[in-house]
């Protein structure tokens, strides 16, 4: 079975209508979750906890969409330098 990892993170935005963080060093990493349901539960808990802060927003990143295992690795990735 394919693993579908999801990252939940958030913080204070410059503009509540946008997605630019005020201070990227202060981004709150909630965690990485093995499925959308558990990621959504974590996202919802953080969103409800910070409901009084109009500039604070949380997101779910679908990590499984960032990497296609069928695509060959880049030279820097093969060296373990990212990619």
**Following DSSP, what letter does each residue of 29-45 receive, concatenated?**
EEEEESSHHHHHHHHHH
**Rounded to 5 degrees, what are φ and ψ at 65?**
-85, -15
pTM more than 0.85: no
Q: Give strand ranges (E) for the chain.
A: 6-12, 28-33, 56-62
Asked whether residue 56 carries a pLDDT value surpassing 50, the answer given is yes
Counting Cβ atoms within 10 Å, is residue 11 exposed (0-12), middle (13-18) or buried (19+)? buried
Decide which of 3.30.70.2400, 3.30.70.420, 3.30.360.10, 3.40.50.300 is the CATH code for 6-78.
3.30.70.2400
> Is residue 38 within 8 Å of residue 45, measured between CB atoms?
no
Confidence of residue 79 (pLDDT cuts 50, 70, 90): very low
Asked whether residue 44 carries a pLDDT value surpassing 60, the answer given is yes
């Amino acid at each position: 079975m394919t693993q579908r990892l999801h990252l939940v993170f958030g913080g204070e935005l410059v503009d509540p209508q946008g997605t630019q963080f005020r201070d990227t060093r202060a981004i709150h990493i909630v965690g990485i979750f093995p499925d959308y349901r558990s990621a959504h539960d974590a996202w919802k808990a953080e969103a409800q906890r910070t409901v009084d802060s109009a500039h604070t927003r949380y997101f779910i990143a679908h990590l499984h969409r960032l990497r296609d295992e069928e695509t060959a690795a880049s030279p820097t990735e093969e060296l373990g330098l990212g990619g």
